[in-house]
Amino acid sequence: MTRIFVDADACPVKDEVYRVAGRYGLHVFVVSNRMIAVPDAPLVERVVVDAGPDVADDWIAERAAERDVVVTADIPLAARCVEKGAVVIEPKGRLLDQDAIGMALAMRNLMTDLRSAGVMTPGGAGFGKADRSRFLSALDTLVVKMRKPSVRPVVRRDIV
């Protein structure tokens, strides 16, 4: 069954995740290194990890599996989760799957290298209503897709 993992410390779309998860009866793990308010719902679980770099990321990456959904803007975490078969969606609604994660990781590494070399890079655009709406629609569509049983080809062994 599909589960949703939220990298929650800076996630602006937690309420949208709760709405979609409630609609489809999905278990949600809200992972952070501090207390975050979550709805009092049996399928929403708050996970508070120790403070430290990547502790929440490690918790998510160790548990995310095939057919799970991970909500994060953290590209290295996304790459780890995609490697395990999960699908990642960013808060602005962009899907990071096997086809997209390589380019996203390369772009992140390039920008990190440029900043390290002293190059001023533009900041990201702010988060607005259109982003929230795009995320909600993309997450709903993704969950519907992930819940469908995989179609596997029938292999006939009696034909030579």
Q: If 0-12 CB within 10 Å is exposed, 13-18 middle and 19+ buried, where does residue 119 land?
A: exposed
**pLDDT at residue 152, as a whole number:** 41
Domains of the chain, residue spans: 3-147
Measure the CA–CA gap between 60 and 29, rounded to whole angstroms. Answer: 9
Phi-psi region of 67 (alpha: psi -120 to 50; beta: other; left: phi over 0): left
CATH 3.40.50 is held by the domain 3-147:
yes
Give CA–CA dist 120/77, Å, rounded: 25
Q: How many CA atoms lie within 13 A of 54 on its CB side?
A: 8
- pLDDT for the residue numbered 110: 59
- Encode the chain (160 residues) as per-residue pLDDT tens digits: 799 999 998 899 999 999 999 999 999 999 999 999 999 999 999 999 998 888 999 999 999 999 999 999 998 899 999 999 999 999 999 888 767 666 666 665 656 665 677 767 666 667 789 999 999 999 999 999 887 776 444 444 454 4
Enter the pTM of the model: 0.81
Predicted local distance difference test score (pLDDT) of residue 3: 96
